[in-house]
Amino acid sequence: MERYVLTMTCLDRPGIVRALGASIVRAQGNITDSQQFSDPETGTFVVRTEFESPESLDVVRESVLDGTAPFAPHVNMRPAAVRRRALIMVSKYDHCLVDLLYRWKCGEMPVDIPVVVSNHEDLRGIVEDAGLKFVCIPVTMDTKREAEAELVNLVEDNDIDFVVLARYMQVLSDDLCRVLAGRAINIHHSFLPGFKGAKPYHQAYARGVKLIGATAHYVTADLDEGPIIEQAVHRIGHSHTAEKLVEIGRDTERSVLSRAVRMHAEDRVVLVGVRTVVFD
């Protein structure tokens, strides 16, 4: 028996679940887990289903598409054993990268990582020690277009499913954001909305904030305003120094990013307009 993961979105109408279930049964399938949500704002129905079937992916897909055709759905389906392929992008900060690599090596992160890209050489040793390919693509004002073209080539040549910006300190162009729409995850060093610019934790310290946090979101052309996947906050007090806030912030960033990457890799995140539906 092959285990499959399916996500489907369409306009909400009576009979969707019945039609989907019947199409899975026709493919000799047995549903082992299913979660659904109807968005009242957009009238969009979203479902994530795991099921087993002895039939091939093509046979199961055809059955599902035929059975749900009246609802004109968008269907995404894969064998659960097929892992998503992630390209990680970094600059000089290593905490998010190291956390992702650790979880990947011990089997907690269900992804394959064909390549890690950086605009600096600083983290080459960490990546190559993990047995992964490291590619340095320097970025300047004059070379940004060529650098992003090289990145897109890497994405295509390595059959990359999604990109992870693990504290990659370059703003992606609007064109690249469109190319990677819905498949580029960024970690922001704040519980959005937050302090912008350099040294955000020092700005927070100067303002005497009581909560700091981190936000993982999809990258869009609107800087740090993409659909949010995961967030976390940490309460702080007047005795915390700016350096302590940085330490707490690093820990929050890596845990939030790792959860977002895992949820995306397991097809638990579905975009509905500018918002996300995130299934447990």
CA distance 225 to 246: 23
- Using DSSP's 3-state secondary structure scheme, residue 248 falls into helix
Inter-residue contact 95 to 126 (CB < 8 Å): no
CA distance 216 to 185: 7
**Token reading at 162:** 């999604």
Inter-residue contact 167 to 252 (CB < 8 Å): no
* Positive/negative CA dihedral, 112, 91, 214, 164: negative
Catalytic residues: 224
Half-sphere CA count of 52, side-chain side, radius 13 A: 3
Q: Cis peptide leading into 193, omega within 30 of 0?
A: yes
Inter-residue contact 116 to 98 (CB < 8 Å): no
- Where do we find the tokens 């447990």? 280
CA distance 158 to 160: 5
CA distance 180 to 218: 9
